Amino acid sequence: MRRLRNVKIVATLGPASSDRTVIRALVEAGADVFRLNMSHGSQEEIAARHRIIREVEHQTGRPIGILADLQGPKLRVSRFKDGKAELQDGQKYRIELGKELGDAERAFLPHPEIFKALKPGSRLLINDGQIRLRVEQCDAKSADAIVEVGGTISDRKGVNVPDVVLPIPALTAKDKDDLEFVCNLGVDWLAMSFVQRADDVAEGQRLAAGRAAVLAKIEKPAAVDDIDSILAEADGIMVARGDLGVEMPVHKVPVIQRRLITTAQHAGKPVIVATQMLESMINAPVPTRAEVSDVATAIYDGADAVMLSAESAAGDYPVEAVATMNSVAEEVERDPHFRVRMEALRPAARPRVADAIAAAAREVAETTDIKAIACFTHGGTTAQLVARERPRVPILALTPSTRSARRMALVWGMHCILTHEVERFKLAVVSAARAARDHGFATEQDRIVVVAGIPFNVAGTTNILRVAPVDERLIYEGEPE
């Protein structure tokens, strides 16, 4: 089941894709990582999906990543006397703290944290921005606003406050309970919603305690502004374009998407592009041309992964959606201009020995007749540094850690192979040669580059590079210990 592309595909599971037959079909169509959305489904349903994924993984012999997406805080208006009210452009409207029933003159918000953060000029966006208010004056319990965009406001619609950092933690009591539950299940990645600052991610890392890698969803302007600090704490990020497009002008989202992808790549951390990528395939067997171009753009920009949400979770054509995304990725990566883009995205500065080794591996592979770069990695650091270089040849990530193999299923270009622990570099070279041959990346007449860290099984020690023949007899005859 070798992939003929480098970008990875994340497929969300849901009512349309919860049984073993569909999940197996999704893997065969191209899914590398499955997303479990903690906003939908009980913990029992999540556990059942997790169990099936691991059974399919065992059947296919291919490491599969599992990402649990935590819900995060949900800010909503209270209910209305008639279930809804009509707001007119330009009218005055009052927002008050409480849970009473609202009407056409006022609405109630049960979130004191919002009122603490509001200031004159702040915007309140309701129902994904369909209703837009601008605050004129406010205090700790109320806000008087002007309706900039009116319409129907109704019960329990979501509220966004894009202009301020809200004094609300990213993890609710439900999130903490879900986090503990999925970490005990054995998920590989945790996606944190409502991240505004690096401290939010640090809290997630503390609670995860190394049991899962932590991915920050970038969906708020404050997170975009603080991306460098957030990336320093996070193991990866997701460009959550849905909420970004609500809280920021939509014309800014493509520019932000490209900047976030480049920033994450230079940091050597994976980045997922998500939301509405093939949305028409929820109900149609083929996507629009614009959606195909959107997926292609994310791949050209260097994203590690592209994600399907409702398309695979609740749509009529989940397997077709994954297959379409796979076909688009393969076609884009065959384009010579794709390679030009990848080379332009490489980081200019490589200050550490490990960075230089990874860059040298890519340079040797691309300027000589090398078929693959094999990385011996325990925690994934070595392989991710090589992936950051976006080499032309395949990357084989050899690891004795099932956990690391599953996490690296999210990383660009990574072909993850489980191997035994090795103590000597020569044995590592032999193991890499066998893997390259057995998985169809090279023949005995070919050579590969092997990258590792000495001493073995110590994270962050990438310090050795060897060009090696795939023929084991030549390794034993000509290679030093």
Catalytic residue, chosen from 3, 62, 269, 275, is 275
Retrieve residue 134's tokens.
Answer: 């601008």
425 contact partners, CB below 8 Å, separation of at least 6? 452, 454, 464, 466, 481
169 contact partners, CB below 8 Å, separation of at least 6? 73, 200, 203
Annotation says 106 is catalytic? no
Catalytic residue, chosen from 3, 8, 49, 217, is 217
Closest of 433, 431, 430, 411 to residue 420, by C-alpha: 431
Dihedral sign (CA 294, 299, 303, 306) = positive
Say how many C-beta atoms besides its own lie within 10 A of residue 259's C-beta: 14
From residue 180, how far is each of 167, 186, 208, 387 by CA, in Å?
24, 10, 8, 31
Q: Is 204 helix (H, G, I), strand (E, B) or coil?
A: helix
Q: What are phi and psi of 323, to 5 degrees?
A: -60, -40
Annotation says 60 is catalytic? no
379-404: burial string, b at 16+ Cβ within 10 Å, e else: bbbbbbbbbbbbbebbbbbbbbbebb
Please report the DSSP string for 59-116 in residue order: HHT---EEEEE------B---BTTSEEEE-TT-EEEEEES-S-B-SSEEEE--HHHHH
Strand partners, 417: 398
Catalytic residue, chosen from 76, 116, 174, 211, is 76
Annotation says 35 is catalytic? yes
Between strands 92-97 and 142-149, the pairing is antiparallel
Whole-angstrom Cα distance, residue 480 to residue 474? Answer: 11
Question: Alpha carbon 348 to chain centroid distance?
Answer: 24
Annotation says 217 is catalytic? yes
Retrieve residue 37's tokens.
Answer: 């959305």
Catalytic residue, chosen from 3, 5, 8, 35, is 35
Q: Is 351 helix (H, G, I), strand (E, B) or coil?
A: coil
246 contact partners, CB below 8 Å, separation of at least 6? 125, 128, 129, 160, 162
Using a CB cutoff of 8 Å and minimum separation of 24, what contacts does 459-465 make? 459/378, 459/379, 459/381, 460/354, 460/379, 460/381, 461/354, 462/353, 462/354, 462/357, 462/358, 462/381, 462/382, 462/385, 463/353, 463/354, 463/357, 464/357, 464/425, 465/357, 465/360, 465/361, 465/364
Spell out the SS3 assignment of 111-123.
Answer: CHHHHHHCCCCCE
Active-site residue numbers?
35, 76, 217, 275
